[in-house]
Structure 1
């Protein structure tokens, strides 16, 4: 399963009134519920769509995810030009088209409201989190996985 993953507002809260704890590697401590929900996805191939994606090498991202107990097959990042001028919706939509991904093999987990503007076939694959809570259960993930059409 190809999982487009954001960090802020998904793996950690994005509440400006609360501090996000750090691990000893200097990056955020992921919420336990978020890790549990993410680990409910079998054979996860993470595609980082987070604004943090260029902060570390793929090797470092793998270590970060392993240290936090996240199971995955691979980690990659969306590579776009001028990503500061492009919405998250556009980035993901373009990447799916560029890579010719089968929509039934995609889950998008993010708190970015621009994703509501995705075409229906992609919007149906979105788990839109509350930025103040982050990903706090796996109900929406399971619903998307169970509703895959082949």
Structure 2
């Protein structure tokens, strides 16, 4: 049986540095993740066995194995399976996610992202979205929202 898919962003989800500040750098030389957001992600991953697809624009500057090393260093309990494809004609994250879902045919998925363009997602997709806030990230409130979405799926 195919695993559900988690479409995961980084900025505003695990990286909660305000836009007016430079990212804090962790011991591995990459941007520091908010520790409580990582704990909440691991709690979600303990009840939601899934394949992670990274949707962050940061996916354009590092390779998959490099991101998996970053996740491993931060003790995230699930590797990234792949990146959201980059579609030349898509103008925002909303269009990228809708294109990916339509092409892949996935029906069992969860999206965690802070991108405001996702507010206008197709309702059948939007009801599987947990929209975080830049400085708060994937906090306990958003963890609980994610678990509610998974349970009703």
Q: Same fold (TM over 0.5)?
A: yes
Structure 1 position 99 matched with structure 2 position 91: no
The runs of at least 4 aligned residues of structure 1 exceeding 6 Å deviation read none
Structure 1 position 71 matched with structure 2 position 77: yes
TM-score by length of 1: 0.88
Gaps of 5+ in 2: none
Q: 2: CA distance between counterparts of 1:96 and 1:29?
A: 30
Q: Of 144, 147, 151, which aligns to 1:142?
A: 147
TM-score by length of 2: 0.87
Whether the 8 Å CA contact 1:44–1:71 is kept in 2: the answer is no
Q: Which moved more, 1:13-22 or 1:138-147?
A: 13-22
Which structure carries more helix by proportion? 2
What SS does the corresponding residue of 1:52 show, helix, strand or coil? helix
Gaps of 5+ in 1: none
Aligned-residue CA RMSD in angstroms? 1.6
Partner residue, 1:57: 63
Whether the 8 Å CA contact 2:71–2:79 is kept in 1: the answer is no
Q: 2: CA distance between counterparts of 1:135 and 1:112?
A: 13
What SS does the corresponding residue of 2:70 show, helix, strand or coil? helix
